[in-house]
Amino acid sequence: QAVPPVGVSKACSSCVRTADVKEACSQCDRFVCESCSRLCSCCNTVTCSLCSVIDYGDVGEQV
């Protein structure tokens, strides 16, 4: 569970709302709220919307 240092923003990097700081993007370490986080279909790690790419060409949506 990621905990930001004192003085660091606890806002979600995607929607800028206050995140219930539980997850950080595995690629950029930015904090991300539950509604903005995406689970990578290849490695099953949490990514933010800035670091993820959605594959619409596959059956369903894959991140």
- Tell me the pLDDT tens digit for each residue of 5-26: 555 566 787 787 765 666 888 9
**Total domains present in the chain:** 1
**pTM for the whole structure:** 0.62
pLDDT above 70 as % of the chain:
67
CA distances from 21 to 18, 29, 34, 42 (A): 8, 12, 9, 24
| Residue ranges making up the domain that contains 10 | 1-63
